[in-house]
Amino acid sequence: MKVDVDGTKFACQAGATKCTYSQVEAASPDITSVNLTGAKVTIIGTSFPDKTKFDAQVTYKGVSASSAYTSDTTLEVTFPKGLPFSKVAAAPVLIFKQKTLAAGVTIAY
């Protein structure tokens, strides 16, 4: 886990046994499947955090998508210019960012 402050990422420097975090949700998110349909990607999983407290950000091959929560198990994202592709396989990256942290500070998991 790293803390991101205005784009600068900080890793724990005190050693793994001294670095801790608090998990505020009952369970960590888990992705069970990803479905692609044209420029739309549907991510299905479990334990997605509360959409009123977190924003979901999805990137694929370095391109950001617009996202919309539909439930605590489904996230639909759209790539406005179409889904990026190439010969090299890649997984989409899903980050949940808490909405209420101090200005310039985010914690992603």
List the CATH number of the domain containing 79: 2.60.40
Query: 48, exposed or middle or buried, with CB in 10 Å at 0-12, 13-18, 19+?
Result: buried
Number of domain units in the chain: 1
pLDDT tens-place string over residues 15-67: 555 555 555 556 678 888 888 887 888 889 988 888 888 888 888 888 888 87
pLDDT attached to residue 2 = 60
pLDDT attached to residue 90 = 81
| Number of CB atoms found within 10 A of residue 79's CB | 19
8 Å CB contact between 86 and 48: no
pLDDT attached to residue 40 = 84
Does the structure show a pLDDT above 60 at 105? yes
Residue 95, domain extent: 3-107
Does the structure show a pLDDT above 60 at 101? yes
8 Å CB contact between 69 and 51: yes
pLDDT attached to residue 107 = 57
Does the structure show a pLDDT above 80 at 82? yes
- What backbone torsions phi and psi does residue 81 show, to the nearest 5 degrees? -105, 15
Does the structure show a pLDDT above 70 at 3? no
